Structure 1
Amino acid sequence: MPNRDIVTWNALICGYSKNGYDFDALRLFVQLFREGFTPCETTLVSVVPSCGWQELVCQGRSIHGFSIKTGLDLDSEVKNVLTSMYAKCSNLEAAELLFEYMLEKSVVSWNTMIGAYGQNGFFDKAMLVFKQMQERSVEVNSVTILSLMSANADPESTHCYDNLVSLTAIISCYSEKGNMGLVMERFAQMQQLDMKPDAVAIVSILHGITNPDHIDIGVAFHGYVVKTGLCTDCLVANGLSPLISGCVQAGRASDAVELFCQMQIYGLRPDAITIASLLSGCSQLGYMQFGKKLHCYILRKNLETEDFVCTALIDMYIKCGSIEQAEKVFKNIKEPCLAAWNSMITGYSLNGFEQEALTCYSEMRKQGLKPDKITFLGVLAACNHGGLVDEGRRYFQIMIQEFKMTPTLQRFASMVDLLGRAGLFEEAILFIKNVVTEPDFAVWGALLSVCCIHQQVKLGECIARKLYFLDCRNGGLYVSMSNLCAAKGMWDDVARLREMMRDSGGDGCSGVSLIEVTSIGRNKL
């Protein structure tokens, strides 16, 4: 710019400060002086928030001194940002002095002081300031209520200020803390007061649903926004997308698909994150036909450029049993990320293509990618499925020696299973003894399973006793021992074990069968 004025400087300083570039904001403030400009009140209001942490408090004090020298500290906005700065730096004494000597205290000033006490844990003082604010007949706004809630104020003490904005602020505060019980109480209060929650209120609730235990609340609110027509609001639509992801993470993929189909009815379009979550849901349910429709949508919207979307797509095809489709997706990626390589290695392992899995690992290494623990889990699984004992030993050593990884118990369990299936029981037991941490159920359980294959009854009984003390209610323990006894024709022992399994609370017979119904296929993207 050939001609800069103070307004230009203020705009840039404010931009840096609001976006967290505190040092840059201060650097510009100093440069402003060097180029002969004189700061005004707006300049100080823009730069002082950048000094609200311990490392820059000295600079903040210097600016405060400058404001006193020039008389800019008489401005109420300057006093407010200085008060807030000192509060954030835990210098409440300075904040209190500034507040005390303010001739005109606006609602912003009162809110700043309430927030200052709340941030530093002085909740009683925050309430005292609030009461003084009431005595001065200063009008309370939503920021006041939010400041009080962040100071752990009793909601009942603020109930007389429950307009829609204030209640939304309270709900937002509870939602951020994950306290959905209190969120529901305040929402019910809105209903009792005959208030109609707007998009902001709904989104503040939806953003708090991060715990899988709260998915039912999210589903209920989805029904509410459909009923009230708020689902057409872009803000609400964006708030519903994480709900789909939450359903998938909670193991309720069918609910996620149903929510998605309802969104489609109202013309809402999913983003890349939602599509990736739905693909994960298809993996859980075996919905390959629906997954293919999502694949078409990905191609139409050019979402295949997103690594996580392609990885989710590969994973979906693999878990739905179509390794060929997974290969096609993978080969069309110009530069596959590590997660995509891992998915293919694991996919080949799961589908019995152990040589292809190891070849895939070699190709990945040629591309210069460094494997992680998930990579080696897939590689060891391939060795396990193919009975490749020597290769398994070699890759296990590569993981430890070349890549300096500490094997997890899951990797130890994979090696124990590999050695045990080959009949190398002594090596497998020695391997377990070398485990750094205490072997868990998976490690000993792997050895018990191979005892069934080789009909090693005595060793199986010893392992079973150990597993019983680790987790006496685990049905897998009784199933494995029952299978071992059945293989040796010890039917009385089989009956006794099944009775013990029933007494422990599980019969080992629970399972799930899945089919993809045609109604899913009729929904278009």
Structure 2
Amino acid sequence: MDALCLSVSPSSAPSPQALLHSFNSPWELKQLHAHLIKSSVPLSSLPLPRVAAVCGPSPAGFPYAHRILTIVQGPASTTSLWNSCLKALAEGDSPSDAILLFYRLRDLDVLPDTFTCSFVLKACTKLLDLENGRIIHGYVEKLGLRWNLFLENMIVNLYASCGEMGDAEKLFDSMPKRDTVTWNTMITQSLKRGYTDKAHSYFTRMPERSVRSWTAMISGLAQCGKHEEALQLFRKMKGTDLRPNEVTVVAVLAACAAVGSLDLGREIHEFSDKSGFTKNTHISNTLVDMYVKCGCLEEALKVFNAMEERTIVSWSAMVYGLAMHGKGQEALSLFDQMVRMGVRPNGVTFVGLLHACSHMGLVDQGREFFAEMIRDYGMNPNIEHYGCIVDLLSRAGHLKEAREFIKNMPMEPNEVVWGAFLGGCAVHKNIELAEEATEHLSQLDPHNDGYYIVLSNIYANAKRWEDVARVRRLMRSRGVKKTPGCSTITIDGEVHRFVAGDLGHDGAEEMSQRWEVLLGKMKSRGYVPNTSVVLLDIEESEKEKFLYRHSEKLALVYGLINTRAGTTITIMKNLRVCQDCHEALKVASEVTSREIVVRDRNRFHLFKDGICSCGDYW
């Protein structure tokens, strides 16, 4: 046979050792077996692990291979060889073959041991194969292997990974012994399903916590949107003798980015530098993202420029960050630099570029980038890219073109696409198209209050109070509640939250007095309250009171009272900043000689010397 070189001239024949390792199928092994018999070479010369690996997955080859292993090693010694085969299959690309091989071994009464069960459990977990996992659990019980904590932990993880948290909990509760791995499994799997209270219960009951335990809890809380709780937990971790690892750092930085906790983010940056973590590109990328989202663009650029190695993630994060901070031209220039350096952009890069064009009103350039990603880079735009183009066109007032663009999309437009279109309709006061957008949105995302509010505001601007009332009745009938405007400001590591209209905050009286003083100075500089943004049919004086209680104004005053002169005030808001607050913050930055950074739902605004970085286009 050519593959085994069995019929070749003596001068070109392979060495016996090479020949023994040359088979790649059961058929070739049989040919080699015949050759060994003819050559009087003992069968024990065969590489037995390779015999198992080549023939184990084959229904026809398995019995033959098992006979060879039994002849050479005896019935009692074959399990370890089959285990090595099971391990390779379970950890490789064929975990299902590991399960099939296990059943073939049972058909031949090969007794499984702890290693056998562990490898098959790993295959079941990889495949989320609950049915076979339960069978292996049965074997563990039948063979009396419950004493093995490693196996018990694997079974707990299998049930939890397959979503059977009830079974995982029952097994956990019945275990005579648990270790840190057991507790960490229950914490991690509970958090994956959003059961933060249950995860916290396991965490607090742990007799001993490892770095991994703290990290799992911090990371899980952040991923569940409980960023402030994640940071509080990290501060508790700092009180232990455990040292955060790189995974902890990434999780904490992500939480800092979400709530705008710049001081803690800087502290983690300093710790990462001392620990050598910033050599890790992932850590540096997360730092860039943190500084961008905390409104500190200069620090983000410093980290980016200091990176020894930059990936496409690094470039894309910086392009996106510049765009969101109103530095659209710088974002486009950085993209040009990236391309010149031979870095190929990806879909995220183009999202950043399209955002930059959208926030600067560069309609033609945005269209060209969209075409370029298809034409020059062979990318298929996803729905996020289509949403960016709709946003670009809608903001710029090209509503009919945006409507046609949506109509011709190769996929069904989602709520983000229609939401971007609705936003443009609101800016340009197009009631007819806004009604069409809202009709689609009521089907796609019926419980999102924002869309109803936008339509209601459009009607109110047009003094169509009956339609305003109709929308509000519709919201009540569907159980949709208006999300109140909320702003946060972090001072000395503590997050302070303000809700629109809330006068119950500690120090409310001092804040009211400070606002009156500030308001007087602002009016002397030409600030005139824009009561048109209060879309209620009430007296002008009452409208002004509503304006003064917007959450970002409350956060601003609190920041002015509780920070030193000259300190930048950074505010995070959950909704789009209104026109009156935008104008008020511009004037406030001038009269207080402060930089004021506001991150709203769409972008960053840097107010400095009476000017906003967005150029009043947001």
> Normalized against structure 1, the TM-score is what?
0.74
Which of residues 252, 271, 285 in structure 1 aligns to 2:245? Answer: 271
Query: C-alpha separation between the residues in 2 aligned to 1:123 and 1:34?
Result: 35
Question: Is contact 1:175-1:204 (8 Å) kept?
Answer: yes
Query: C-alpha separation between the residues in 2 aligned to 1:397 and 1:81?
Result: 53
Q: Secondary structure at the match of 1:213?
A: coil
Which of residues 64, 87, 103 in structure 2 aligns to 1:94? Answer: 64
Query: C-alpha separation between the residues in 1 aligned to 2:411 and 2:445?
Result: 17
Which of residues 277, 291, 297 in structure 2 aligns to 1:317? Answer: 291
| Alignment partner of 1:175 is 2:157 | yes
Query: C-alpha separation between the residues in 2 aligned to 1:71 and 1:197?
Result: 49
Match of 2:257 in 1: 283
Q: Secondary structure at the match of 2:282?
A: helix
The 1:476–1:208 alpha-carbon spacing in structure 2 relative to 1, beyond 3 Å, is: closer
Question: Is contact 1:146-1:173 (8 Å) kept?
Answer: no
2:150 partner amino acid: T
2:464 partner amino acid: M
Question: Is contact 1:253-1:281 (8 Å) kept?
Answer: yes
Residue 394 of structure 1, CA deviation: 2.7
The 5 A counterparts of 1:191-270 are 195-199=176-180, 201=182, 211-213=192-194, 218-225=199-206, 227=207, 229=208, 231=209, 236-238=210-212, 241-270=215-244
Which of residues 388, 402, 405 in structure 1 aligns to 2:362? Answer: 388
Residue 259 of structure 1, CA deviation: 4.5
The 5 A counterparts of 1:481-496 are 481-496=455-470
Match of 2:583 in 1: none
Which of residues 111, 114, 117 in structure 2 aligns to 1:142? Answer: 114
Query: C-alpha separation between the residues in 1 aligned to 2:48 and 2:414?
Result: 61
Match of 2:79 in 1: 109
Question: Is contact 2:328-2:356 (8 Å) kept?
Answer: yes
Question: Is contact 1:127-1:148 (8 Å) kept?
Answer: no
Match of 2:447 in 1: 473
2:317 partner amino acid: S
Q: Secondary structure at the match of 1:336?
A: coil
Query: C-alpha separation between the residues in 1 aligned to 2:73 and 2:364?
Result: 83
Q: Secondary structure at the match of 1:321?
A: coil
Match of 2:312 in 1: 338
Q: Secondary structure at the match of 2:244?
A: coil
Q: Secondary structure at the match of 1:496?
A: helix
Match of 1:185 in 2: 170
Match of 1:9 in 2: none
Question: Is contact 1:84-1:95 (8 Å) kept?
Answer: no
Residue 282 of structure 1, CA deviation: 1.0
Residue 279 of structure 1, CA deviation: 0.9
| Alignment partner of 1:348 is 2:308 | no
Residue 351 of structure 1, CA deviation: 1.9
Report how many aligned residue pairs link the two structures: 458
| Alignment partner of 1:294 is 2:268 | yes
2:450 partner amino acid: G
CA RMSD between the two structures: 3.9
Query: C-alpha separation between the residues in 2 aligned to 1:161 and 1:511?
Result: 61
Question: Is contact 2:99-2:120 (8 Å) kept?
Answer: no
The 1:65–1:280 alpha-carbon spacing in structure 2 relative to 1, beyond 3 Å, is: farther
Query: C-alpha separation between the residues in 1 aligned to 2:231 and 2:81?
Result: 44
Q: Secondary structure at the match of 2:252?
A: helix
| Alignment partner of 1:119 is 2:98 | yes
Query: C-alpha separation between the residues in 1 aligned to 2:306 and 2:120?
Result: 55
Question: Is contact 2:261-2:493 (8 Å) kept?
Answer: no
Residue 349 of structure 1, CA deviation: 1.8
Match of 2:148 in 1: 166
% identical aligned pairs: 26
Query: C-alpha separation between the residues in 2 aligned to 1:66 and 1:198?
Result: 53
Which of residues 457, 469, 478 in structure 2 aligns to 1:504? Answer: 478
Match of 1:15 in 2: none
Q: Does 329-338 or 339-348 show the bigger shift?
A: 329-338
Question: Is contact 2:56-2:101 (8 Å) kept?
Answer: no
Question: Is contact 1:245-1:256 (8 Å) kept?
Answer: yes
Question: Is contact 1:118-1:148 (8 Å) kept?
Answer: no
Question: Is contact 1:146-1:170 (8 Å) kept?
Answer: no
Residue 61 of structure 1, CA deviation: 4.8
Query: C-alpha separation between the residues in 1 aligned to 2:256 and 2:265?
Result: 6
1:188 partner amino acid: D
Residue 199 of structure 1, CA deviation: 4.7
Question: Is contact 1:310-1:329 (8 Å) kept?
Answer: yes
Q: Secondary structure at the match of 2:194?
A: helix
CA offsets per residue over residues 425-458 of structure 1, 9 Å max, x none? 2322232233222222222222222112222112
Question: Is contact 2:98-2:120 (8 Å) kept?
Answer: no
Q: Which has the higher contact order (CA 8 A, sep 6+)?
A: 2
Query: C-alpha separation between the residues in 2 aligned to 1:400 and 1:103?
Result: 61
Question: Is contact 2:52-2:81 (8 Å) kept?
Answer: no
Q: Tell me, which stretches of 5 or more residues in structure 2 are unaligned?
A: 1-12, 90-95, 125-131, 496-618
1:459 partner amino acid: L
CA offsets per residue over residues 7-49 of structure 1, 9 Å max, x none? xxxxxxxxxxxxxxxxxxxxxxxxxx9678799xxxx9xx79x
Q: Secondary structure at the match of 1:88?
A: coil
Query: C-alpha separation between the residues in 1 aligned to 2:48 and 2:274?
Result: 55
Q: Secondary structure at the match of 1:509?
A: coil
Question: Is contact 1:110-1:129 (8 Å) kept?
Answer: no
Match of 2:382 in 1: 408
Query: C-alpha separation between the residues in 2 aligned to 1:310 and 1:375?
Result: 18
The 1:310–1:129 alpha-carbon spacing in structure 2 relative to 1, beyond 3 Å, is: same
The 5 A counterparts of 1:430-449 are 430-449=404-423
| Alignment partner of 1:422 is 2:392 | no
Q: Does 330-339 or 376-385 show the bigger shift?
A: 330-339
Query: C-alpha separation between the residues in 2 aligned to 1:80 and 1:320?
Result: 56
CA offsets per residue over residues 364-421 of structure 1, 9 Å max, x none? 2333322222112112212211222232223223233222322222222222222223
Whose strand proportion is higher, 1 or 2?
A: 2
Q: Secondary structure at the match of 2:423?
A: helix
> Normalized against structure 2, the TM-score is what?
0.64
